[in-house]
Chain A
Amino acid sequence: MKKTIKLLLASVLTFAATFAQAQTAEEIVNKYIEVTGGAAKWAELKSVKMTAKGKQGGMEFPITSLQKAPNLMKQSVSFQGKEITMSAFDGKETWKTNFMTMKAEKGEAEDSENAAKSMDFPDPFLDYKAKGYSIALEGEEKVEGTDCYKIKLTKKPIKVDGKEEEDFSFYFFDKENGVVIMNRSVMKKGPGKDQAIETLMSDYQEVNGLFFPFTVSQKMNGQVVFSMAMEKLEMNVAIDNKEFAFPID
Chain B
Amino acid sequence: MKKFTLLSSILSLSMGVFAQEALPIKGDEIFGSMRARHIGPALMSGRITDIEGHPTNNKVLFAGAAGGGVWKTGDGGVTFNPIFDKHNQSIGAITVDPKNPDQVIWVGTGEIWTRNSVTIGDGIYKSTDGGQNWTNMGLANSERISSIKVNPNNTKEVFVGVLGALWSDSQDRGVYKTTDGGKTWEKIFYVNASTGCSDLVMDPKNPNIMYASFWEFRRTAYSFNSGGENSALYKTTDGGKTWNKIHNGFPTGKLGRIAIAAAPSNPNILYSVIESEKDADKGLYRSEDAGASWKRTNGDFELVVRPFYFSRIVVDPKNPDIVFKAGYNGSVSKDGGKTFKAIGGGIHADIHDFWFDIHDSNRIYLCDDGGFYRSYDGGSIWDMAKGIPVSQFYQVAIDNQTPFKVYGGLQDNGSWVGPSSKPGGIENRDWISVGAGDGFRTFPHPKDPNIVYSEMQGAENIWRINLEKNSVKTIKPFPESNDPKFRFNWNTPITTSPHNADRLYVGSQFLHKSDDRGETWVKISPDLTTNDPAKQQQENSGGLSMDNSGAENHCTIFAINESPLDQNIIWVGTDDGNVQLTQDGGKTWTNVTANIPNLPKNTWAYFIEPSSFDKNTAYAVFTGYTSGDFKPYVYKTTDAGKTWKSIVSPDLKSFVRNIKEDYKNPNLLFLGTEGGLYVTIDGGQNWSQFKNNMPPVAVHWIALHPTEDALVMATHGRGVIIIDDISPLRQLTKEIIAKDLHFFTTKPTKMAESGAFGGYARMGEFVGENPNSMAQVVYYLKSRHTFGKMSLEIFDQNDKKIADLAPGKSKGINYVDWTYSLKPPKVAKGKTIIQAGFQGPTVLPGPYKVKITKGAKTYESTLNLIANPKSIHTADDRKVQFETAMKLFNMSEELGYLVDQIDNYKIKIDSISPKLTSTKLKKQFPVADIASKMQTLKETLVVLKGDNYVGAAEPQLREKISGLYGEVLSYTGRPTNAQLASMKVLDEKLSAAKTQMEGFKASLDKLAPAMVKAKMPELKVRSFEEFKAAEN
Contact = CB atoms under 8 A, between A and B. Distances in A.
Q: Do A and B assemble together?
A: yes
Interface of A: 1-2, 5, 8-9, 12, 53, 55, 58-60, 62, 78-82, 99-102, 138, 142, 144-146, 152, 163, 165-166, 168, 170, 174, 177, 179, 181, 186, 191, 193-196, 200-205, 214-215, 217, 221-224, 227, 229
Contacts of B948: 99-102
A224 B776 CA distance: 13
Nearest to A181: B786
Contacts of A58: 774, 817, 819, 821
A163 B787 CA distance: 41
Contacts of A177: 786-787
A74 to B, nearest CB: 18
Contact of B693 (A81, A179, A222, A229): A222
B833 A82 contact: yes
B692 interface: yes
Interface stretch (B145-153, B748-756, B807-815): B807-815
B806 A217 contact: yes
A181 B785 CA distance: 10
B783 A146 contact: yes
A47 to B, nearest CB: 21
B947 interface: yes
B950 to A, nearest CB: 9
B806 A55 contact: yes
B253 interface: no
B1020 interface: no
A145 B790 contact: no
Given A62-B1031, A145-B811, A200-B809, A12 B804 contact: no
Contacts of A12: 787
B32 A145 contact: yes
A102 B947 contact: yes
B74 interface: yes
Contacts of A222: 33, 35, 692-693
Contacts of B821: 58
B947 A144 contact: no
A118 to B, nearest CB: 16
A8 B786 CA distance: 12
A8 B787 contact: yes
A203 B32 contact: no
Contacts of B981: none
Interface residues of B, number: 60
A191 B763 contact: yes
B759 interface: no
B856 A2 contact: yes
A145 B28 contact: yes
Given A59-B838, A202-B785, A221-B693, A101 B810 contact: no
Contacts of B57: 163
A201 B786 CA distance: 7
Given A80-B829, A221-B693, 19 more contacts: A8-B787, A53-B804, A55-B805, A78-B1032, A79-B833, A79-B837, A80-B833, A100-B948, A101-B951, A102-B832, A144-B809, A144-B812, A146-B784, A166-B129, A174-B784, A205-B789, A215-B809, A222-B33, A229-B806
Given A191-B763, A205-B789, A223-B35, A82 B1031 contact: no
A203 B862 CA distance: 25
Contact of A145 (B29, B788, B833, B1032): B29
Contacts of B785: 202-203
B72 interface: yes
B132 interface: yes
Given A5-B787, A102-B948, A194-B72, A80 B837 contact: yes
B411 to A, nearest CB: 26
A5 B75 CA distance: 50
Most B CB contacts (10 A, CB to CB) among A100, A152, A179 go to: A100
B823 interface: yes
Secondary structure class of chain B's binding surface, majority of residues: loop
Given A53-B804, A100-B947, A102-B948, A81 B789 contact: no
B812 to A, nearest CB: 5
Given A101-B948, A177-B787, A80 B834 contact: yes
A179 B334 CA distance: 62
A145 B810 contact: yes
Contact of B81 (A142, A194, A204, A214): A194
Contacts of A5: 787-788, 855
Interface in B51-93: 57, 72, 74-75, 79, 81, 83
A77 B601 CA distance: 68
Given A145-B784, A179-B786, A195 B81 contact: yes
A202 B81 CA distance: 29
Nearest to B102: A165
A229 B28 CA distance: 25
Contacts of B132: 170, 186, 196
B158 interface: no
B4 interface: no
Interface in B21-37: 27-29, 32-33, 35
A169 to B, nearest CB: 9
A52 to B, nearest CB: 11
Interface string B761-798: 00100000000001000000001111111100000000
Nearest to B35: A222
A227 B947 contact: no
Interface in B9-44: 27-29, 32-33, 35
A101 B787 contact: no
20 contacts: A8-B788, A78-B1031, A80-B834, A81-B1032, A99-B948, A144-B810, A145-B28, A177-B786, A179-B786, A181-B786, A186-B132, A193-B74, A195-B81, A196-B132, A202-B785, A203-B786, A204-B788, A215-B809, A222-B35, A223-B35
B137 to A, nearest CB: 14
Contacts of A165: 102
Contacts of A99: 833, 948
A170 B132 CA distance: 10
A230 B788 CA distance: 12
A186 to B, nearest CB: 6
A146 B133 CA distance: 19
Contacts of B806: 55, 215, 217, 224, 227, 229
A158 to B, nearest CB: 13
A163 B640 CA distance: 67
A225 to B, nearest CB: 11
A57 B595 CA distance: 56
A229 B29 CA distance: 25
Contacts of A170: 132-133
B558 to A, nearest CB: 35
B789 A214 contact: yes
B537 interface: no
B804 A60 contact: yes
A237 B832 CA distance: 32
Contacts of A100: 947-949
Nearest to A5: B788
Interface string B824-839: 1001111011100110
Contacts of B947: 100-102
B450 interface: no
B103 interface: yes
Of B27, B57, B833, most buried by chain A (CB within 10 Å of CB) is B833
Interface in B949-970: 949, 951
